[in-house]
């Protein structure tokens, strides 16, 4: 028998991962913006993402809309628990988008829009990380409704995950610029990548250890036999990828640091999925409890089978068309 709830859980998980990676380096460039001093370097950095940044947010719409449609119970629990960080995240994304476009139009106030681009990116990234931390630490549920308080999302753990995601996005953004640019901007990006890479690995280790003290489910999932014998490969791979990243940066490679940065995010995401499963809303609401009726899942899957390949196709085509280095003075706008 086909498990439609599990198929949809995989599709939503894929959409969220695609958004984190693809919009992550966009946000990372925005967060880095105050450290890029010259106007020419700032415009080159923006031109590396100008053709693709708005399309990357398609995956956020797909993930959020998909959650509402196929896991309505999870949506009705998560949204009330995380209203504040989600609203602030959306405002940050809107402000970032407006600032991005006004950078090219409002020449007299360009420096203000550059600050807006940085602030919007920082707020969006920080709130995404805080929302993730609040989800990881667990949401209080009674019956089929959120039973926690307005400020339950704001804890030392969630703030730590917020800062960690900001640092991780800076790593993605800096390795993207290392891959896409040359000269002074590339050297700056490489130096930022070394610092943010070290910090990202530190945060991965800290949060991983912290999680096992937050919820017994995570402790048993990772350290009970026989799980520990085959799950230990995940932290070993994280350490291996981290070391490879620093060697690639030291050898001044262009492409491999970005691929290795994505690999760090992918491994961290796999670790979260391992910790959560089978729950969609930790610690008590499973994928199957949160799912819509099978008839609804089947009907929506037909649309997804048509839509998702199209999104993948035009995303891949956009990245292919705008591949290669972006030099100073070259502009998409």
Give the pLDDT confidence of 291-320 residue by residue, as tens digits. 999 999 999 999 899 989 998 998 899 889
Q: Please tell me the pTM assigned to this model.
A: 0.94
Whether residue 156 is contained in a domain is answered as: yes
Would you say residue 327 lies in a domain?
A: no
Residue 17's CATH number: 1.20.1630
- Tell me if 1 is assigned to some domain: no
Q: Report yes or no on 147 lying in a domain.
A: yes
pLDDT given at position 63? 86
Examine the pLDDT at 256 and tell me if it is beyond 90: yes
Lowest mean pLDDT among 105-114, 171-180, 229-238: 105-114
Domain containing residue 140 = 7-321
pLDDT beyond 60 at 333: no
So what's the pLDDT on residue 331? 60
User: Is the pLDDT at 332 greater than 70, yes or no?
Assistant: no
Helices (H), the chain: 4-32, 39-49, 53-56, 58-70, 72-81, 83-105, 110-136, 156-180, 183-214, 216-223, 227-231, 233-250, 256-276, 287-290, 294-321
Mean pLDDT over each residue of the chain, to the nearest integer: 90
CA distance 137 to 127: 15
Q: Do residues 136 and 161 make contact, with C-beta atoms less than 8 angstroms apart?
A: yes
Mean pLDDT of 239-265: 94
What gap in Å lies between CA 319 and CA 82, rounded to an integer? 33
How large a percentage of the chain has pLDDT more than 70?
98
User: Can you tell me the mean pLDDT for 142-162?
Assistant: 90
Are the C-beta atoms of residues 287 and 7 closer than 8 Å to each other?
no
Question: What is the per-residue pLDDT for 80?
Answer: 92
Bridge partners for 286 per DSSP: 279
Q: Count of domains in the chain?
A: 1
Using alpha carbons, select from 103, 46, 99 the residue that is nearest to residue 329: 46
> pLDDT: is 166 or 37 the higher one?
166
- Domain contains 326: no
In a domain, 331, yes or no: no
pLDDT recorded at residue 271: 93
Mean pLDDT for the stretch of residues 177-195: 93
pLDDT computed for residue 105 by the predictor: 78
Arithmetic mean of pLDDT, 106-110: 78
* Long-range pairs for 257-260: beta carbons < 8 A, 24 or more residues apart: 257/175, 257/178, 257/179, 257/190, 257/193, 258/25, 258/172, 258/175, 258/176, 258/178, 258/179, 260/175
Mean pLDDT within 36-61: 85
What's the pLDDT tens digit per position in 69-95?
899 999 999 999 999 999 999 999 998
329 domain residue, yes or no: no
């Amino acid at each position: 028998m086909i498990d439609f709830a599990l198929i949809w859980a995989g599709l939503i998980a894929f959409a969220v991962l695609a958004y984190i990676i693809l919009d992550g380096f966009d946000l990372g460039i925005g967060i880095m913006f105050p450290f890029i001093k010259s106007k020419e370097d700032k415009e080159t950095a923006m031109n590396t993402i100008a053709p693709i940044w708005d399309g990357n947010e398609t995956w956020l719409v797909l993930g959020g809309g998909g959650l509402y449609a196929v896991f309505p119970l999870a949506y009705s629990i998560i949204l009330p628990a995380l209203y504040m960080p989600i609203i602030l995240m959306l405002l940050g994304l809107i402000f970032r988008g407006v600032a991005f476009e006004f950078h090219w139009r409002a020449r007299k106030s360009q420096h203000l829009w550059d600050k807006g681009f940085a602030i919007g990116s920082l707020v969006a990234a920080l709130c995404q990380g805080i929302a993730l931390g609040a989800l990881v630490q667990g949401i209080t549920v009674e019956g089929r409704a959120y039973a926690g308080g307005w400020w339950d999302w704001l804890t030392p753990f969630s703030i730590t995950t917020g800062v960690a995601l900001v640092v991780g996005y800076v790593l993605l953004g800096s390795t993207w610029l290392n891959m896409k640019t040359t000269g002074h901007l590339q050297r700056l990006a490489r130096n930022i990548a070394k610092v943010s890479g070290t910090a990202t690995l530190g945060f991965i280790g800290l949060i991983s250890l912290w999680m096992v003290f937050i919820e017994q489910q995570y402790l048993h999932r990772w350290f009970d036999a026989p799980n520990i014998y085959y799950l230990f490969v995940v932290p070993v791979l994280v350490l291996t990828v981290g070391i490879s990243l620093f060697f690639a940066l030291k050898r001044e490679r262009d492409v491999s640091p970005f691929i290795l940065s994505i690999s760090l995010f992918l491994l961290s995401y796999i670790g979260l999925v391992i910790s959560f499963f089978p729950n969609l809303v930790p610690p008590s609401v499973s994928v199957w409890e949160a799912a819509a009726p099978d008839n609804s899942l089947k009907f929506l899957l037909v649309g997804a089978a048509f839509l998702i390949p199209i999104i993948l196709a035009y995303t891949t085509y956009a990245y292919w068309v705008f591949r290669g280095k972006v030099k100073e003075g070259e502009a998409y706008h």
